[in-house]
């Protein structure tokens, strides 16, 4: 009699635990399908610095919709649902620059982030700090601005003048990184070795009928950027392409 009762108790306990497990799975599915799921979908499709912003947004969504004890499990489930690799978020921090209004600027080796704004760093990215004005006894007319510009994006933000030196340090570090990613400048020996081959290449590029003028000029720009042709050669070939 006692053995039968114990057996029945074990069966009931197993059923209860099984139902609890099922409900937990259903709840996780609903979580991933809800607001957290939408944020995870954005993260799945994001790349570069945009992925960092999307990940932070996912964490915020989890924090708003779930209690502290649930957050780690919910976040893990959301990341697993999109098979997310956390290594996509890794990039050495170059430095942070405090601004006068809005989110600070975070500069990484591979991207620049300011709040919800994110841009990827490439060989064309450069940064500088501009200052103007003076500090008088009765007033301070100084202004300072951080500028980060790339071929496809730009960011300009006002910073506090007393932070200008720190911002310049960050800008110099970023410029050093991007300079190292640029093609090696061709030496005089390299250009001499190309000789008539480069002249023939330019002539073929100018006279070709397939590419559009914009495409030809883009190729010219690449040659000039790689220091394979001079500015004068670039302008001359550009003028011929445009019929000037």
pLDDT digits (tens, 9 = 90+) for 137-194: 888 889 999 999 988 899 999 999 999 999 999 999 999 999 888 765 555 555 555 5
Angle, CA 106 vertex, CA 152 and CA 97 arms, to 5°: 110
Q: Is 201 exposed, middle or buried (0-12, 13-18, 19+ CB in 10 A)?
A: middle
Taking the model in full, what pTM does it have? Answer: 0.65
CA distance 238 to 244: 8
Domain 91-181 = CATH 2.30.29: yes
Domain map of the chain by residue range? 2-88, 91-181, 188-242
The tokens of 223 are what? Answer: 């040659």
Q: Is 187 exposed, middle or buried (0-12, 13-18, 19+ CB in 10 A)?
A: exposed
State the average pLDDT over residues 63-78.
93
Which of left, alpha, beta for 195 (phi over 0: left; psi -120 to 50: alpha)? left
Length of the chain equals 244
Report pLDDT digits (tens) over 83-114: 999 999 999 999 999 999 999 999 999 999 99
């Amino acid at each position: 009699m006692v053995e039968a009762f114990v057996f029945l108790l074990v069966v009931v306990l197993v059923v209860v635990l099984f139902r609890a497990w099922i409900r937990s799975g259903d709840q996780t599915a609903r979580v991933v399908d809800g607001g957290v799921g939408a944020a995870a979908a954005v993260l799945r499709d994001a790349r570069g610095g945009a992925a960092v912003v999307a990940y932070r947004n996912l964490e915020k969504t989890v924090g708003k919709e779930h209690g502290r004890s649930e957050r780690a499990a919910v976040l893990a489930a959301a990341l697993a649902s999109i098979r997310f690799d956390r290594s996509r978020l890794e990039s050495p921090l170059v430095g942070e620059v405090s601004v006068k209004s809005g989110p600070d600027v975070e500069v990484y080796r591979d991207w620049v982030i300011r709040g919800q704004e994110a841009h990827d760093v490439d060989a064309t990215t450069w940064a500088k700090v501009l200052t103007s004005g003076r500090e008088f006894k009765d007033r301070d007319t100084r202004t300072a601005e951080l500028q980060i510009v790339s071929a496809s994006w730009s960011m300009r933000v006002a910073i506090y003048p007393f932070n200008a030196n720190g911002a310049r340090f960050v800008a110099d570090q970023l410029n050093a990184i991007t300079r190292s990613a640029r093609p090696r400048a061709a030496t005089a020996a390299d250009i001499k070795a190309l000789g008539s081959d480069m002249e023939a290449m330019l002539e073929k590029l100018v006279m070709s009928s397939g590419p559009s003028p914009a495409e030809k000029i883009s190729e010219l720009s690449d040659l000039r950027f790689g220091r394979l042709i001079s500015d004068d050669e670039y302008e001359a070939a550009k003028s011929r392409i445009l019929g000037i």
